[in-house]
Structures are given as structure tokens and as C-alpha cells.
Amino acid sequence: MPDRDELIAAARPLLVGPSLLGREDTYLLDQALRILRYVDVILTFDEVESLRLDRVCLDAAALFQDAARVRLERERRESPVYAAATMSTDEVRGYSAELAGDALRDLLTARQIEHTQTIIRQNQNRATRVPEAMVLSDACNLDDLGTLGVWRELRRFAVEGRGLDEVLASWQRKLDYGYYAARVGDTFRFAPSRRWAEARVRRLEQFMAAMIREHAADDRDEPDGATP
């Protein structure tokens, strides 16, 4: 059986591409390693410990679940016809599963590769009964919440040339529509994951309140009687 370092080495070429400045862009690799750490914690939950899981396949799926992103981004930059513009999220996951199969051919058995691809395709499917996909879904959803979720949104907006005003407007819309409460209530499969996410949202609210004050130059705390 391959160890985790071997799986990471196999995933790295697919997850690391060139940045806009020509250096290595390790964003997706960093995200995949972070999701693996969430998986490690989720597997300690009482309600998860009783599940029968293939840990090697789960680790592989966590590493490869976004494997198509770098290739699709390269296509967006180089091709006049951007295929991903017409691809659904499920199709992108399917593409990632295909790339995982090719990359893992010398490390996993045919059965393990097929199961890893199933986990990737079933990730974020609320109806799935594949236990590894349930764990991976919770891990990915955790990575999308809290201050890390804001980091991802800031990065995306910066690449698109949008400013902080738009980030804060997006945040306000999510609050107005109850996005975070619905997300926490609807997407997590395990109760401890849900509590973890709730704590992240509370910290996010504090973080965003500070950002709003700083952006408005409204964060200068004056001592009693002082004037600016």
C-alpha cells in the first residue's frame, strides 16, 4: 500500500501550475493538504469511527478531488474555446476522477482506483451513502467556511480585478439571505462537523466586522477626551 507521501507526490504535478507571475502556484496543493488534515480530525468522531472506510482511497480522493482545476485554468488561458465554461460541477469532478485514475495507476489496485473515483464523483452529493464521500464532503465544506473561506474569495476577487468593496458586498448579501445558517444546517453529515462549522462562522463574523470597520476607517479607538 502506498503511504501518504507517495500519494501527495502523485497528486502534485496535477495540483501545482504556473501563477500569473510565472512562479509555482501551490494554492490547490495547499488546499488539498489542509483538507487531509480535516479528514484526520473527522475520522476521530465517534459517529465516524464505526464506519467501514478505505483510508488509502479516502486520502487519494481528498488529494485528487480538484485535480482538473489546473488543467482547466491552463485551457482558459491558452484556448479561444474555454471548455470549462460549459462544464457542470459534476463534469469537473468526473474529469478530476479520470485524471486521478491515470496518476494512480502505478500506486493503487484497479479496485482502489475505481473506489477513489467513486468518492470523488460522490463528493458533495447530499444523498450519497459512500462513507468516504461523506467524510470528504464535510472536510471540503469546512474548508469553504470561516476565515479560510474569505481568503479563497479574496483570492478569486483579486484575480478577477475586483476590490474589497465587492468582497464586503458579497459578504453582506450572504448575511441578508441567511447563507451561512443554511450552509451549516444543510451540508454537513456529522454533528461534530456542524458544531465545528458553527464556531468558524462565529469567528468569521468577528473577522468581517473588523474588516468592515478598517475599510471604512472607523476603527481608531480614542482614549476618553482625546480628539483625532
Lowest mean pLDDT among 43-57, 58-72, 151-165, 173-187: 151-165
Say if residue 131 is in the same domain as residue 194: no
Say if residue 62 is in the same domain as residue 152: no
- In the predicted model, what is the mean pLDDT of residues 50-76? 90
Say if residue 8 is in the same domain as residue 62: yes
Quick one: pLDDT band at residue 67, thresholds 50, 70, 90? Answer: very high
Say if residue 192 is in the same domain as residue 96: no
pLDDT surpassing 90 at residue 205 = no
Q: Is residue 223 one of the residues assigned to a domain? A: no
Mean pLDDT, the chain, whole residue set? 88
Which of 136, 156, 188 represents a domain boundary (last residue)? Answer: 136
Q: Is residue 44 one of the residues assigned to a domain? A: yes
Return the exposure string of 92-115: e unless at least 16 CB atoms fall within 10 Å of the residue's CB, then b.
Answer: bbbbbbebbbebbeebbeeebbeb
Q: What is the CA radius of gyration of the chain?
A: 20
Lowest mean pLDDT among 57-61, 118-122, 197-201, 203-207: 203-207
Say if residue 129 is in the same domain as residue 157: no
Say if residue 199 is in the same domain as residue 127: no
Quick one: pLDDT band at residue 82, thresholds 50, 70, 90? Answer: low
Least Cα distance to 150 among 200, 107, 188, 113 occurs for: 200
At 134-192, the pLDDT tens digits run 999 999 999 988 888 888 888 888 877 888 888 888 888 888 888 888 888 889 999 99
Quick one: pLDDT band at residue 57, thresholds 50, 70, 90? Answer: very high
Q: Is residue 142 one of the residues assigned to a domain? A: no
Q: Is residue 141 one of the residues assigned to a domain? A: no
Say if residue 120 is in the same domain as residue 154: no
Would you state the pLDDT for residue 120?
Answer: 98
Say if residue 81 is in the same domain as residue 22: yes
Cα distances (Å, whole numbers) of residue 48 to 113, 119, 136: 23, 16, 12
CA distance 94 to 37: 24
Say if residue 91 is in the same domain as residue 186: no
pLDDT surpassing 90 at residue 40 = yes
Cell of 184: 451549516
Quick one: pLDDT band at residue 86, thresholds 50, 70, 90? Answer: low
Q: Is residue 63 one of the residues assigned to a domain? A: yes
Q: Is residue 226 one of the residues assigned to a domain? A: no
pLDDT surpassing 70 at residue 201 = yes
pLDDT surpassing 90 at residue 80 = no
Residue 35: how many CB atoms within 10 A of its CB?
20
Which regions of the chain does DSSP assign to beta strands (E)?
17-18, 24-25
Question: Element (H or E) spanning 24, and its range?
Answer: strand 24-25
pLDDT surpassing 60 at residue 224 = no
Which of 111, 136, 161 represents a domain boundary (last residue)? Answer: 136
CA distance 196 to 204: 12
Q: Is residue 179 one of the residues assigned to a domain? A: yes
Alpha-helical segments (H) within 65-124:
68-78, 89-103, 110-122
Say if residue 151 is in the same domain as residue 79: no
Would you state the pLDDT for residue 226?
Answer: 53
Residue 102, by phi and psi: left (phi above 0), alpha (psi -120 to 50) or beta? alpha
For residue 24, the cross-strand partners are 18
Q: Which domain holds residue 104?
A: 4-136
CA distance 143 to 153: 12
Which of 105, 136, 167 represents a domain boundary (last residue)? Answer: 136
Say if residue 63 is in the same domain as residue 94: yes
Total domains in the chain come to 2
Residues 41 and 96 sit within 8 Å (Cβ to Cβ)? no
- In the predicted model, what is the mean pLDDT of residues 79-94? 72
Would you state the pLDDT for residue 84?
Answer: 53
0.85 exceeded by pTM: yes
Q: Is 17 helix (H, G, I), strand (E, B) or coil?
A: strand
Would you state the pLDDT for residue 175?
Answer: 83
Q: Is residue 227 one of the residues assigned to a domain? A: no
Say if residue 167 is in the same domain as residue 75: no
CA distance 141 to 67: 17
